[in-house]
Structure 1
Amino acid sequence: MSALEKQPDHRHWPASLHLELALRSGCTRLVRNRHLGPLRIQRPFHPEASDCAHLYVLHPPGGLVSGDDLRLTVDAGVSTRSLITTPSAGKIYHVASTGERQRQTTHITLAKGSQLEWLPQDNIVFDGALGELGLRVDLASDSRFFGWEITCLGRAAGDKPFRKGALLQRLELYRNGKPWLLERTPLRATADILNSPWGLRGQTVFATAIATLTHLGPDQQKHALELAREQLGQTCAGVTLTRELLIARLLGDDSETVRNQLIRFWWALRPLVFDRPACAPRIWAT
């Protein structure tokens, strides 16, 4: 059993949300919405001319305290089109004296011909936090995915740096049940990786964005790589194209700057990845 599949500890206030999407009369619909605890979703929106459904995941408490365990699972049915985002940043607070970790895991499954965009706002790791963040995406051979994860260590605006604590971050992509990309990033506040040239270089914000390009030919994939490098600018720590995955790494000292760079990256790449123009979620304008 993987870390993303462990059962929650019911001594605490567990929160889970299970969403199922299916194609109905040519439009993507939310056909199942099962929740436990303070993890909900607003009604789906359809702001595009296409059948794409926009969904906003809400966590009213606004952050994780000691022992909290948030679990989101999404089953995107055959030929569905969906975009999932959050209205505000997630927060991982200072742990209590018991030292119990805070966990947030997301498991997305894409069926044949489905397309999904995972575009949450950043996760802020407070000084003294002991957090675990996990994202797993299971894709069919012809499904398409674009997603990002943005992490902010400490609160620079409040002069509250990340001096103690730890974060374990996992990113897993599987295609047809086989590993496609597996990353495990353990970060301790006192570790060399935070300040070393081969690590975060003293920056407090880091992000990873991924786009699947299996449906594109070699020339189009090369064009996507060049376009990505052009869009990301100075925050870009590197863009690679490997095994038909476009992977971008960003570093910065301001989460808004990094996020805006990612939005420009997504805006430029969406027509290539999903064959439709970008349409920003309405919640981003509030």
Structure 2
Amino acid sequence: MYATISPSDAPSGTPSDAVPAQRTSGTGRVSFKASDKGATRLDRLYQQGCAKIRLPKVYGGKAAEAVLINSAGGLTGGDVVTWHAKAAAGTYAVLTTQACEKIYKAESDVAHVANHLTVADGARLDWLPQETILYDRAGLNRSLDVHLEGSARFLAVESLLLGRVAMGEALHTLTFSDNWRIHKNGKLIHAEAQRLKGDVAHIGQADAVLSGHLALATLCYIGPEDSDTMTALMESGRALIAPFEGCTAGLSSFNGKILARLTAKNGMALRAALIPLISHFRAGEPLPRVWTT
């Protein structure tokens, strides 16, 4: 004999009651110091929840490398991940991610990712996460908070893929925001807010938005170079990406920084143009190995 229990008949505390879904959370912190011989070494490491950090051996490069890992395998509404990184004077570190971060559809709320970076006088930090992939009905609120001192150098790249092109997926419902705040010696020197909401497949067709492209990236370089050197870096960067078809890019130099915006028809076209541009602003330093394996 079989029996069914309707919601009105079920006793309190049974699965029929509204129970919040379990959500992912994690916090990772890493800091670097200079050794007596001037090499960059790990200073402190902390990881909690889904946030993991690995420090692979690096061959052929000057920078120490930290690979940030979300062991949950992706994010959805209500998930919270926070990363902190510090580079002490005389260090050179690069932070990247093990793979592309996937943002899945959210039944409610949005995923929250907060990145906090500090770069001391005479240090350099490169923030080079791999692409973020947004699925239809995804929600993500992301922030980048950076504090630089003195002659610090900083390179940041964030790339976004709108849907899975190979699967024919179009983003009809999306909530995405990305807020950058970069300070130098306590003064705000760069702020931007990017927001995509609604039927992105339709909105992105406009020439003033994405011209139908489904991949986009922002690159920002800040350093102690004089204006003539920064202008030369910008112009050589423009020449470097000009030959790439399927990718539209613009570079500008002002107030001690270089800013690049790129859009492309798909992730492969975006990465093809972005990789040499990143190498250009890293003075030929090799990309993190996870980018090419």
TM-score range for the pair, normalised by the shorter chain length: 0.7 to 0.9
Whether contact under 8 Å (1:65, 1:92) holds in the other structure is yes
Give CA-to-partner distance per residue, 1:158-206, whole Å, 9 cap, x none. Answer: 1111111210111221111111111111211336752322112221111
Match of 1:23 among 14, 34, 54: 34
Task: Check 1:193–1:238 CA distance in 2 against 1; reply closer, same or farther (3 A cut).
Answer: farther
Q: Counterpart of 1:171? A: 180
Whether contact under 8 Å (2:61, 2:286) holds in the other structure is no
Match of 1:129 among 127, 138, 148: 138
Match of 1:146 among 155, 165, 183: 155
Task: Check 1:182–1:19 CA distance in 2 against 1; reply closer, same or farther (3 A cut).
Answer: same
Q: Which runs of 5+ in 1 are unaligned?
A: 1-10, 272-276
Mark the structure with the bigger radius of gyration: 2
TM-score, structure 1 as length reference: 0.88
Rounded Cα–Cα distance in structure 2 between residues aligned with 1:241 and 1:43:
33
Q: Does 1:195 align with 2:202?
A: no
Cα drift, residue 243 of structure 1? 0.6
Cα drift, residue 283 of structure 1? 2.1
Rounded Cα–Cα distance in structure 1 between residues aligned with 2:271 and 2:81:
23
Q: Does 1:249 align with 2:258?
A: no
1:219 alignment partner, SS class: helix
Give CA-to-partner distance per residue, 1:241-261, whole Å, 9 cap, x none. Answer: 111111000001211221221
Alignment of 1:73-222 (within 5 A): 73-96=84-107, 99-190=108-199, 194-213=204-223, 215-222=224-231
Rounded Cα–Cα distance in structure 2 between residues aligned with 1:77 and 1:172:
20
Rounded Cα–Cα distance in structure 2 between residues aligned with 1:108 and 1:232:
28
1:164 alignment partner, SS class: coil
Cα drift, residue 12 of structure 1? 3.5
Rounded Cα–Cα distance in structure 2 between residues aligned with 1:182 and 1:280:
26
Cα drift, residue 123 of structure 1? 0.3
Of 170-179 and 41-50, more deviation after overlay is shown by 41-50
Rounded Cα–Cα distance in structure 2 between residues aligned with 1:186 and 1:283:
28
Q: Does 1:39 align with 2:48?
A: no
Rounded Cα–Cα distance in structure 2 between residues aligned with 1:100 and 1:54:
33
Q: Counterpart of 2:16? A: none
Give CA-to-partner distance per residue, 1:130-160, whole Å, 9 cap, x none. Answer: 1112112111121001110001111111111
Q: Which amino acid aligns with 1:283?
A: V
Q: Counterpart of 2:11? A: none
Rounded Cα–Cα distance in structure 2 between residues aligned with 1:231 and 1:158:
31
Q: Which amino acid aligns with 1:33?
A: L
Q: Does 1:281 align with 2:288?
A: yes
Of 84-93 and 226-235, more deviation after overlay is shown by 226-235
Aligned length: 267
- The structure whose residues are more often helix, as a share, is 1
1:64 alignment partner, SS class: coil
Q: Counterpart of 1:266? A: 278
Whether contact under 8 Å (2:163, 2:169) holds in the other structure is yes
2:229 alignment partner, SS class: helix
Cα drift, residue 236 of structure 1? 3.2
Q: Which amino acid aligns with 1:141?
A: G
Match of 1:240 among 239, 252, 256: 252
Q: Counterpart of 1:7? A: none
2:282 alignment partner, SS class: helix
Whether contact under 8 Å (2:226, 2:256) holds in the other structure is no
Q: Which runs of 5+ in 2 are unaligned?
A: 1-21
